[in-house]
Chain A
Amino acid sequence: MSNNQPKIMTHEARCGVRLNYVIFPIDFRDLRHALAKNGYELSPVGLLPSPPARISFGGDVARKGETTVIAESDSGEIGVVGRSLQEVKDSFEELANIIDSELGISLHENVRFYWYVVHYKVDTGKIPRNEIAKVENKEYIAQFSQILGEDLSSFSIRLVPKDAIPNQENWFDIAIEPDVMSEKLYHVGVVFRTPDRGKTETFVRDLENTLLKLIEVIEE
């Protein structure tokens, strides 16, 4: 890195919503039609049965620019995958507007939870392996080392909300670890979900700065 400013690069960002209906309310044929009408390229599929036969579907539905629309009708999810947090945030809003105006279905109603999964690479100019080892619990690491008969150190830091249950709607998980491909980079993985749209927006708005602050604490 040329200067001392940490650099954060998005590896992949995904966001979406899981709806809380018995039957997924979006018809695959209607969705494809609406997306094609709005400049999306549709993913190739075979012959589709005509309405009113219901179809369950999943995978990459369509793409526009660098974002891809993904859906899983069985679990009631629809979202987008892209290259940056801002890109997927904007694309998801565009998708929600299209579905609302073309199909009359609001992605912000009957929401079980919104979700974000983002992977970053961060370059601070330091060696993450050494920095992460500084914040490990020495007492426990000494005991683990004794059991395994090998000098050990912590490889990652994972932060989750205290007392929250991972298999619930309200959850986040921030993993900070050395990138396995480059020893000079951190890999930061973020999973976030909540039924609250406002909380989602707040979390996403400052996410990148928040992550840099966390790494700053590690490197102090």
Chain B
Amino acid sequence: MALYISSDVTVFDGEQLPTGRPLLPTTTIEQEIYEFERKQRLRPGPSIDTGGEFFLGGLPLRLKDHPDKIKCTGFSLNNPWLPANALKLLNKLKKAAITEKELVKLMELIAERASVHFQLTEGKFVAMTFHGQIVEVSDTRVSLLKKIQGRKYREQIFVWRIGFNAFSGRI
């Protein structure tokens, strides 16, 4: 027997349909839905069906709304967007299954995206991570190397001259 407080009884096609909210789930499926909704804190959607709740075959018909608005937090300004081919190569790099040619291609792609994202001036020497994060910028290669020498980085970095196809080194 279903446990609910019957606030009204509606006759529908000769069948009696109880309206009102059940207090406890009575079937396994209802139990699962109940548990899911409890965990997800879902609530009945007010904009689809505005009538009273009714159940057919023990399953609720109405859609549910998630009470919390999903706020997309956005992106870190420190990392440029990378195209799909760069991400594929990054994945290969992680697995150490990358060829020298692919590595240079990856650095080229990252340097290109980073220079657009950070609006870097052509000719500058830049040390960056393989996710396009800028570590250091300088006018000459020597001054850049002086700035980064002796420092320890959590990620591998490489040096690139913006606007040139010039791989200058990898640390």
Contact A60 B72, beta carbon cutoff 8 Å: yes
Residues of chain A contacted by B72 (CB below 8 angstroms): 43-45, 57-61
Closest residue to A67 on the B side, CB-wise? B81
Closest residue to A41 on the B side, CB-wise? B81
Residues of chain B contacted by A54 (CB below 8 angstroms): 45, 63-66
Closest residue to A56 on the B side, CB-wise? B69
A64: Cβ under 8 A from any B Cβ: yes
Complex CA gap A23/B45 in Å reads 11
Complex CA gap A44/B75 in Å reads 8
Residues of chain B contacted by A56 (CB below 8 angstroms): 65-66, 69-70
0/1 string, A55-87, CB within 8 A of B gives 1: 111111101111010000110000000000000
Contact A53 B64, beta carbon cutoff 8 Å: yes
B7: Cβ under 8 A from any A Cβ: no
Contact A66 B117, beta carbon cutoff 8 Å: yes
B71: Cβ under 8 A from any A Cβ: yes
Contact A41 B70, beta carbon cutoff 8 Å: no
Complex CA gap A64/B116 in Å reads 12
Closest residue to A72 on the B side, CB-wise? B69
Contact A63 B64, beta carbon cutoff 8 Å: no
0/1 string, B103-121, CB within 8 A of A gives 1: 0000000000000110000
B: interface residue count bin: 20 to 34
Given A43-B75, A49-B40, A52-B64: A57 and B83 interface contact (C-beta under 8 Å): no
Complex CA gap A49/B42 in Å reads 9
Residues of chain A contacted by B45 (CB below 8 angstroms): 54
Residues of chain A contacted by B42 (CB below 8 angstroms): 49, 53
Residues of chain B contacted by A66 (CB below 8 angstroms): 81, 116-117
A28: Cβ under 8 A from any B Cβ: yes
Question: Distance (Å) between the CB of A117 and the closest chain B CB?
Answer: 18
Given A23-B47, A57-B69, A63-B81: A68 and B63 interface contact (C-beta under 8 Å): no
0/1 string, A31-60, CB within 8 A of B gives 1: 000000001010111101100111111111
B17: Cβ under 8 A from any A Cβ: no
Contact A74 B66, beta carbon cutoff 8 Å: no
Find B81's partner among A28, A53, A65 (CB 8 Å cutoff).
A65
Closest residue to B76 on the A side, CB-wise? A44
Contact B66 A55, beta carbon cutoff 8 Å: yes
Closest residue to A64 on the B side, CB-wise? B81
Find A52's partner among B63, B74, B84 (CB 8 Å cutoff).
B63
Contact A58 B69, beta carbon cutoff 8 Å: yes
Residues of chain B contacted by A64 (CB below 8 angstroms): 81
B144: Cβ under 8 A from any A Cβ: no
Find A43's partner among B65, B73, B84, B116 (CB 8 Å cutoff).
B73
B binding-site residues for A, Cβ under 8 Å: 40, 42, 45, 47-48, 63-66, 69-75, 81-84, 116-117
25 pairs, A vs B, C-beta closer than 8 Å: A23-B47, A23-B48, A39-B83, A39-B84, A41-B81, A43-B72, A52-B64, A53-B40, A53-B65, A55-B66, A55-B69, A55-B70, A56-B70, A57-B71, A57-B72, A58-B70, A59-B71, A59-B74, A60-B72, A60-B75, A61-B72, A63-B81, A66-B81, A66-B117, A74-B69
Given A41-B75, A43-B74; 6 other pairs, CB 8 A cutoff: A39-B84, A43-B75, A53-B65, A55-B65, A57-B72, A64-B81
